[in-house]
Amino acid sequence: MKDPNNTRNTAPRRGSPLWIYFVVVIVLGVAACTTAFSGLSGDDLDALAGAPVFWILGCFIIFGELRPIITPGSTENNGATTSTTFSFAALLYAGLPIAAALQVIAVVTCGIFRGRSPHRIAFNAAQYTLSLAAAQLVLALFGNLATPTDLWVPDGGDLPAIALAGAVYFLCNDTLVGSAVALHERVSLVKALRLDLGYQVLVHLALLGLAPLMVVAMDRSAVFVPLIVLPFIAVYLNASVSVRREHQALHDGLTGLPNRKLLIVRTEEALAEARGAGKRAQRTGAIGKHCPLKTEPPGHRAGLFLLDLDRFKEVNDTLGHPTGDRLLQLVAHRLTHSVRPGDLVARLGGDEFAVLLPSVRDEAAAREVAARLRAALSEPVRLDGMSFDLEASVGIALFPDHAPDFELLLQRADVAMYNAKEARSGVEIYSSTKDRNSPARLSMLGDLRRAIDRSELELFYQPKISLRDGQLVGMEALLRWRHPDKGILGPDAFLPIAEQTYLMRSITHHVVQAALTQAAAWWREDLTVQVAVNASGRDLLDTGLTETIEEGLLARGLPAAALQLEITERILMNEPAYASETVKALAELGIPLSLDDFGTGYSSLVRLKRLPVEEIKIDSSFVGRLGESTDDAVIVRSIVDLVRTLGLRSVAEGVEDPATAQTLREMGCDAAQGWHFGRPMDAETATTWLRESFAVPLAVEP
Which structural domains are found in the chain, ordered by start? 17-250 (no CATH), 260-435 (3.30.70.270), 441-694 (3.20.20.450)
Tell me the per-residue pLDDT of 376-402, one tens digit each, with 9 for 90 and over: 888 877 766 666 677 888 999 999 888
Contact 429/366 with Cβ under 8 angstroms?
yes
- The answer on pLDDT for 71 being more than 70 is no
Cα separation, 88 vs 138, whole angstroms: 13
Cα separation, 444 vs 586, whole angstroms: 32
Per-residue pLDDT, averaged over 498-526, amounts to 87
Per-residue pLDDT, averaged over 551-575, amounts to 80
So what's the pLDDT on residue 552? Answer: 92
So what's the pLDDT on residue 461? Answer: 95
Identify the band that residue 75 occupies on the pLDDT scale cut at 50, 70 and 90: very low
- Single out the residue of 528, 537, 533, 570 nearest to residue 548, CA to CA: 533
Q: Which of 249-263, 469-483, 548-562, 565-579 has the lowest mean pLDDT?
A: 565-579
Phi, psi angle pair for 566, to nearest 5°: -105, 125
- The answer on pLDDT for 2 being more than 60 is no
So what's the pLDDT on residue 208? Answer: 83
- The answer on pLDDT for 272 being more than 80 is yes
Tell me the per-residue pLDDT of 53-66, one tens digit each, with 9 for 90 and over: 777 777 778 877 77
Query: Above pLDDT 70, what percent of the chain?
Result: 78
Q: Which of 39-53, 209-223, 298-312, 549-563 has the lowest mean pLDDT?
A: 39-53
Per-residue pLDDT, averaged over 68-93, amounts to 67
Tell me the per-residue pLDDT of 448-485, one tens digit each, with 9 for 90 and over: 888 888 888 999 999 999 998 888 999 999 999 988 88
So what's the pLDDT on residue 464? Answer: 93
559 or 143, higher pLDDT = 559
285 or 93, higher pLDDT = 93
- The answer on pLDDT for 569 being more than 70 is no
Helix, strand counts (H, E) of the chain: 27, 18
Q: Which residues pair with 190 in a beta bridge?
A: none
Cα separation, 531 vs 329, whole angstroms: 38
Mean predicted lDDT score pLDDT of the chain: 80
Identify the band that residue 613 occupies on the pLDDT scale cut at 50, 70 and 90: confident
So what's the pLDDT on residue 321? Answer: 72
* Max mean pLDDT range (406-410, 551-555, 695-699): 551-555
Q: What is the residue-wise DSSP string for 223-291?
A: THHHHHHHHHHHHHHHHHHHHHHHHHHHB-TTT--B-HHHHHHHHHHHHHHHHHHHHHHHHHHHHHTT-
Per-residue pLDDT, averaged over 276-297, amounts to 51
So what's the pLDDT on residue 650? Answer: 92
So what's the pLDDT on residue 385? Answer: 66
| H helices present in 78-194, as ranges | 83-94, 96-114, 118-141, 159-185, 189-194
So what's the pLDDT on residue 605? Answer: 55
